[in-house]
Chain A
Amino acid sequence: MLHIKDLRVSVEDKEILKGVNLDINPGEVHAIMGPNGSGKSTLANAIAGREEYQITQGSITFDGQDLLDMEVDERAHAGVFMAFQYPIEIPGVSNATFLKSAINALREARGQEELSPVELLKLLREKARMLGIDESFLKRSLNEGFSGGEKKRNEMLQMALLEPKLGILDETDSGLDIDALRIVADAVNQLRGPERSFLIVTHYQRLLNYIVPDYVHVIYDGRIVKSGDKELAIQLEEQGYDWIKAEAVAG
């Protein structure tokens, strides 16, 4: 489904990703771990299509299409969704307006009819309830004045509504208490299916107790330096990242 080959990405002329290779098949859950500043968010943003991240080399294909050739909104239409590490606050655009616009834009791109306001509201309410989000949220400005946990849950609400083929979670777990963490994990687990894959970026192993990954990769200094199964996450939790760094330096 997603094939990343020798991806090099620079930000402001500084090379951050230095040749990343990653293959994700339909239905798989991959976790990406690594110390702060190693390039996890850069990888997520490069897939989502953020302009500041310049691709200097390599390729990303998604469902056989050249993802790097697609506009940001086209990537979303193709089924890529990234939950932001720091969701943006947009005063004056209500959460409901935003969600309606997104759902209908996606439906239009997929050749489906727009949902009627009644159908939309029903859908919004149903998914909000699933994520433990109060309905009053929908009337408020997008993320404005939301707590960290509320913002993350709002990201999960968007993912649940947009039903992507690939869901990327960029440290959605950080700053969440255990209840909120469970809600996020439930949302992902409910969406898991043979055709839907996830890339879970996390700093801690904690989230992976609830969302059990098929593969775990460790990224360090812009490269994936180690891959394994969920045992690798546990090992990292116990031993920290120093041994990874040492191995990487030793080559």
Chain B
Amino acid sequence: MSAVLQDQHTTTKDWLNDLFQVYEDGLNGHRDHPLAEFRRRAFRELQEQDFPTRRDEDWKYTSVTPMLKQPYQEGRPVALEAKDLESAVYPELNAVKLVFTNGVLDTRHSDLDELPEGLHILPVSQAMEEEETRRWIEAQVEQEGGTGKNTFLPLNRAFAGQGLLVRAERNAAIERPVHLIYLSAPGADPHFAHPQLFVQAKTGSRLILIESYRALESDSLYFTNAANWIELAANARVDHYRLQRESRAAYQIHNTLVRQDRDSTYSAYAADLGGKLVRNNLSTTLLNSNTQTNYYAIYLGNGKQHLDNQTFIDHAVPYCQSNELYKGILTDSARGVFNGKVMVRQDAQKTNAFQQNSSLVLSPRAVMDTKPQLEIYADDVRCSHGATIGQLDETAVFYLRSRGIPERQARNLLQQAFLGEVVDFMDLEPVAERVRALIEEKLREA
């Protein structure tokens, strides 16, 4: 490691040490709490690891240096006003709302009481006090290694103090979506937030999760390092939405690890609109056959935004299906990265795996790096993958303009149509509508 890198990582480790020390010092009588133990273990793990550099293959196009050099403060809660919540809450969803400001749960605005039957939501600190749930959480964490080392996971586990465990009981079809509203409010910036979710969808259950990230101030600086561990038991179905519009200066690393048992269906739907640097690590391990995995995502970057998607689907067992469609648009000096791995192991016969990444690069300074990777070791499978990078169809622009539609509007319509193909897959129509509106809003403001 070069001296400069060494220095810089030392700086990062310094502020992380300081921050963890603040936590330790504040524990007082709770030093032996199982969550404190859990976090301490994670912090030790973190100390033994290095943050990735651009020499790591999976980080070739994304540098975490600017993100990690800030000495962040722990996010502090802010008293929200009604108007702050207005554009963040989607009343038409009738969701179970969980509101976090700067990473801290706001119980006043959250629906922790009167949950629908079969749905349990409890703080990780509490879950840790019960033998059974603690073991389940630890088991999730032990599986992380299977997807390759990711330093941001122990980082999340070391610092998250507000994590939640969401559980759908056996055969519970939970109709009301669970909406996690992560708000960044100006305050002690730059701040550090650690959204954390352990999701247990038991046999035959049905659960809809929506994560939305939003800044109340468009240029506040903070770092969100989110992590979700999601386990689907046999025949469970989880639909997982993520709507991201962080501030223009914000950093976000978003990690989701999914494990699926037989006959289960997991669908991820994501829209990345905000943020200065956003990196999504989404991976699924298939534990048993007949599963379905869907990843549908859009990214829309302008200015100097950097939006990076890494996905990994590990087909280790036969008769599983995966569909992956990522579409994005980059303008100005924005940069996009897609690195999609699909592994079809020798035993994964009769696998159906489809992967596509399509981008529009609309300015000479915008860049898209795409790397679809399909590794197949089984012989009786149906797999396809592809990547395209293109521009808007100018004859289509002309056609629209020749009907009196101004150029800007014509181009926006075509961009909306391009991304709309992904949005149309979103089953939950109110969310799809929100995403369409966000896309339109962003295209108009650009």
Contacts and interface: CB of A to CB of B under 8 A. Distances in A.
**On chain A, which size bracket covers the interface?**
20 to 34
A129 interface: no
Contacts of B413: 93, 97-98, 101
A163 to B, nearest CB: 11
B396 A101 contact: no
A91 B402 CA distance: 18
Contact of B417 (A49, A71, A92): A92
A101 B409 contact: yes
Contacts of A105: 403-406, 409
A51 B402 contact: no
A73 B406 contact: yes
B396 A90 contact: yes
Interface string A48-61: 11110000000000
Interface stretch (A26-34, A81-89, A131-139, A211-219): A81-89
A107 to B, nearest CB: 9
B403 A76 contact: yes
Contacts of A88: 393, 395-396, 399
Interface string A32-72: 00000000000000001111000000000000000000011
A87 B399 contact: yes
B417 A73 contact: no
Interface residues of B, number: 23
Contacts of B90: none
B414 to A, nearest CB: 7
A73 B407 contact: yes
Nearest to B413: A93
A98 B420 CA distance: 15
A73 B401 contact: yes
B400 interface: yes
Contacts of B51: none
B396 A109 contact: no
B422 to A, nearest CB: 10
B287 to A, nearest CB: 37
A158 B403 contact: yes
11 contacts: A73-B405, A73-B407, A75-B402, A81-B403, A84-B399, A90-B396, A92-B416, A93-B414, A105-B404, A106-B404, A141-B417
Interface of B: 393-396, 398-407, 409-410, 413-414, 416-418, 420-421
Interface of A: 48-51, 71-73, 75-77, 81-82, 84, 87-88, 90-93, 97-98, 101-102, 105-106, 109, 141, 158, 162
The 3 A-B pairs of least Cβ separation, nearest first, read A92-B417, A76-B404, A102-B403
Given A51-B394, A101-B409, A105-B404, 15 more contacts: A71-B401, A72-B398, A72-B402, A73-B405, A76-B401, A87-B399, A90-B400, A90-B414, A90-B417, A91-B417, A92-B420, A93-B400, A93-B417, A98-B400, A98-B403
